[in-house]
Chain A
Amino acid sequence: MAGGMPRAEYLLAYICGNVPAPPVSPDARLAAHSAAAAGGDPDGADRISGLSDALLRDIVSRLPFKEAARTSVLASRWRRVWLAAPLAVVDSDLVDDCPPEPADEADVTAAVSGALAAHPGPFRCAHLTSTRMGEHQPLLKRWLRILAAKGVQELVHVNRPCARQVVVPLPDTLFQITTLTSLYIGVWRLPHATRLKGVSFPRLRELGICSVLVEDGDIDSLVMRCPVLEILNIQGSTKRLHLVSQTLRCVQISSSVVENIALVKTPCLERLILWQVKGSPFPASDMRTRIKIGIAPKLRVLGYLDPAHHLLEIGGTRITVLLLPPIFHFVHLATVDFNVIILVECGELQAGMEPTGSAILTTVKVLSLEVCLGANGAMMVPAFLKCFPNVEALHIKSAKCDEPAGKFNIEYWQKVGPIISVLMRIKVMTISEFRGEQHELAFLQFVYQNAQVLESAVVTAANRRFTGISDEQMTSILQQLDSSRWASDFGLAIMGSNGPEGGIPWMFQRGANFSNDDPFAPVKMRSELLFFMTSSCLCRFYS
């Protein structure tokens, strides 16, 4: 948090974008405009007072909380209505900008305090993201006490970061809010797990921990105290994560340095989504995140696995690439023209070894990899794919190669040998951050040439502002692919990107939306949309 204001505010904006959207949207200007059309009739009857209290409460609940409170002065009945309407305190509703300008801060803080004190509850939700709580620690305790006493259900509480701020400890009063169904905390220090004794969140379904300083093992302990937790989202670093939960369905970790992630016993886990997860904050370090998949029999969606930064371990078998110094030359490596082999640690040392038995996860249907296809990480791609033989949708995020090695050409991929998922299962294949490099084209040609049941493919070009490649050039680069050898007649869409270099940061809402069975897909693959994309004619549409 020592990076100065712009950085701190950037972090806040990122966190605010990553927490659940508040239920009330303050589109007041827009509303005022449309309401003018349905304006009042000066001689008309008072129709709104003819509605029941329940309906009036419903209407008042939809207003930003300050406006909701102001309806109290309309008439005496409206005061009772407001007091009985479930309150949603969303502090960013009070100002045009989130985060607010420093000049508005005191008003925002006063309004939150006022609303929490004046309303008897229940509080449907509180989204508090605008106050630098480090400067208001007594207030912080009071707010949490009130929220606990009045039974808030959804709480988003982000401490607004300061430039020269020490980390603000979150009072353990937080642990007394047992009514929570959804909790997102940001930019705090978590109270130590010893303070958790006897605590539980019996209704908590969704937990988000963003840029929170935690002691090793504290998130694990917290998870164990949430008997119905389904979604766990973590942004920011934690040393290790050893998950045991009977109910977790989705775990997402974003922008994080983690040494060790273990799904120890997660019988209901469907999704493990990692975004920019590394083993060390230093780019030069070869410390990788160990991802250990233990008991996770329902794991269906997995990614973005990153061979350069992750070590994968499935059922006790480590899938790894061993970079051997040139002096090692095994006789039986004769067929491999480089000094790298796939090593299965518990098994025998064999070149091109197939992972078998416990090292295979048959449940994974949607897999994403972040990989530089022109560097040695590309060699892990076949090994990773072989671990997940039932993958139906493969999404590659192409990482930029500074010095691509020329060897990753189509001949290289032809020597990889058959990969069951590619040959027989993959229906959807996408590549994003595509730069039109030869090694990317070689990999695409390999997949298109072998995937017998491929139905749709998407190539999303990296933002042309960074690549300098125009749409037309990109299309002609892709036309170099030899479509006469493709294995199936699939739809191919070429898209562009307006996002930052390296792709748009992952948003938790995307991965936690269970109604979308493939959160990595850039577009919904719907057969009726594919009629205009055929492999014989390259079509473009830009997002």
Chain B
Amino acid sequence: MEVDKGKGEAEETRKVAEADRDTVTLKSSDGKLFEVSKEAAARLSTVLAGMIAGGSIDDNGTDLKQIGSEALENVVDYCNKHANSIPSAALISSSISFNTAPFKEPEEWERKFVDRLSHDALFDLVEAANFLGMERLLDVTCHKISEMMKGKSPDQIREVFNIKNDYTKEELEEIRQELAWAFYDD
């Protein structure tokens, strides 16, 4: 009896120790390793949450073959910053987001976080966030991209994003006629 009880306790301790590890290791497509807060990863990424819950996290680095090291570094950075950030609903309750409003405005630090990214790094991050099911990070990055489009003419937008115009001149004219109300001040 005594022995059994001791063994049970040891097993219990080991399990607790495993669950207690508060970081997970992620491995980028080019083999670099990154540590990230387990709590933040599980909270911010549905995919990582699923992997943690399902036990498919590898202590030697969980392979994320679709994500390059630069993007993964940003993901990890974002998770760790999120884990440490203080909610801004501090003093005066003037900014209220309605339950029905689908988009939440990014916080100040989140804006800065995406503002410093290069064009390519931003899109790598959107793709990584999409792959990992990180809704909040997708919100922040998509918001940034939409801000890059705001206040610009279609020509300027094409230029910023290198979008190729595949319309014929006639097609383009037709659509502009259809949407004349959207182009009245051009």
Contacts and interface: CB of A to CB of B under 8 A. Distances in A.
B181 A113 contact: yes
A75 B150 contact: no
Interface centre among A41, A48, A73, A114 (most CB of B within 10 A): A73
A69 B182 contact: yes
A32 B165 contact: no
Nearest to A68: B182
Of the candidates B154, B166, B181, the one having the most CB atoms from chain A within 10 angstroms of its own CB is B181
A154 B100 contact: yes
B117 A38 contact: yes
A115 B178 CA distance: 10
A20 B98 contact: yes
Interface in B78-130: 89-94, 96, 98-103, 105, 115, 117-120, 122-123, 126-127, 130
Interface of A: 20-21, 23-29, 31-32, 34-35, 37-42, 44-52, 55, 58-64, 66-67, 69-76, 78-79, 107, 110-111, 113-115, 118, 124, 153-154, 181-182, 205-206, 509-510, 512-513, 515-516, 519, 522-524, 526, 529, 543
Given A41-B119, A75-B166, A75-B167, 8 more contacts: A31-B150, A38-B122, A39-B119, A48-B163, A55-B126, A64-B150, A66-B182, A513-B96
Given A38-B122, A48-B161, A63-B150, A58 B142 contact: yes
B17 interface: no
A50 B151 CA distance: 23
For the complex of A and B, 5 pairs with smallest distance between CB atoms? A114-B181, A28-B151, A62-B146, A40-B160, A47-B123
Interface of B: 89-94, 96, 98-103, 105, 115, 117-120, 122-123, 126-127, 130, 138, 142-154, 157-167, 171-172, 175-176, 178-185
A323 B138 CA distance: 64
A163 B44 CA distance: 52
A25 B103 CA distance: 11
Contacts of B157: 71, 74
A21 B90 contact: no
Nearest to A182: B100
A75 B98 CA distance: 34
Nearest to A230: B99
B100 A59 contact: no
Contact of B103 (A49, A62, A73): A62
B93 A516 contact: yes
Contacts of B122: 38
